[in-house]
Structure 1
Amino acid sequence: MKKEVKVSWAGHLTFIGEAASGNTLTMDAGTAVGGLGLGHSPMDLLLMGAGGCASIDVVMILRKSRQDIVDCVCQVTGTRADEPPKVYTDIHMHFVVTGNDVEEAAVKRAVELSMTKYCSASLTLAKAAKLTYDWEIKEA
């Protein structure tokens, strides 16, 4: 399956990303490196994309498991190399699932399936960085 997006320069160090769906987002370099800080940094978007991809999986799997969930948050932490190209060397994903009587085994299964089988964004990043994950359950 081929995917295509478009990134257009909007001046300074600001760019507009557009998906085939027509949805857009603004990217910009931070002010410390000459940008205007008007959007997300591309490196932050890598982490957000992985967190979003994995969270979609986790919610879908937990719903299919008939778990009564009301919230799912994925806190993603990335550590970058000190020298250019400053790639991510370590990425940790912490899932916080909130619900009513949510089963630990169901959350464990959902997160592990996402991280090892379904989340293409995380699995892509795991080829370049050490990817770890964990989870916690909160009662609603």
Structure 2
Amino acid sequence: MKVRVKWVEGTAMVGESGSGHALVMDGPPDAGGRNLGPRPMEMLLLGMGGCTQFDVLLILRKARQAVTDCVVEISAERSEADPKVFTKIHAHFIVTGRALSETRVARAIELSATRYCSASIMLGATATITHDYELRDLDDMAVA
């Protein structure tokens, strides 16, 4: 896997993935940036969110779960001292579907966290990572 990051100006940069995608990253104005894109450290959390969601959805599809939506909200704390690594990360999954098995959703999240999500496992070297979830059943929502 390869990526390329090209400095543009100030603290702005363009990241190009080996798969042919590009995005702008930037710093905050107080560090010389113009706030043109996410911070590089935010990208790490976005990557973790995408990685774990990919795993969870794949596991739930294999389990024949009728998932119609999945959102992962991630919050994190960083060290006060340099290097300002993540020290705590919490991932909250909101899984929507029909007749979802709570046991299967919990197991999918656990498998992603402990076995499959490379990003979570790498970040877990410096951070305590926790997870929780909520299920939203479309059939229950239609009645309400």
TM-score interval w.r.t. the shorter chain? over 0.9
Per-residue CA distance 1:35-78 (angstroms, 9 max, x = gap): 10001100101111001000000111111111111000111111
The Cα RMSD (Å) is 0.8
Alignment partner, residue 18 of structure 1:
16
Deviates most, 39-48 or 77-86:
77-86
Distance apart, 1:22 and its partner CA: 1.2
User: How many aligned positions are there?
Assistant: 138
Alignment partner, residue 42 of structure 1:
40
Decide which of 68, 71, 86 is 1:70's aligned counterpart.
Answer: 68
Matches within 5 A, 1:121-140: 121-140=119-138
Gaps of 5+ in 2: 139-144
In 2, the alpha carbon distance for the partners of 1:63 and 1:112 equals 16
2:51 corresponds to 1:53? yes
Alignment partner, residue 141 of structure 2:
none
Alignment partner, residue 98 of structure 1:
96
In 2, the alpha carbon distance for the partners of 1:4 and 1:106 equals 35
Structure 1 length as normaliser, TM-score?
A: 0.96
Gaps of 5+ in 1: none
In 1, the alpha carbon distance for the partners of 2:43 and 2:100 equals 30
Per-residue CA distance 1:5-37 (angstroms, 9 max, x = gap): 100011111000001111011100011322100
Amino acid at match of 2:104: A
Structure 2 length as normaliser, TM-score?
A: 0.93
Amino acid at match of 1:54: T
Distance apart, 1:128 and its partner CA: 1.4
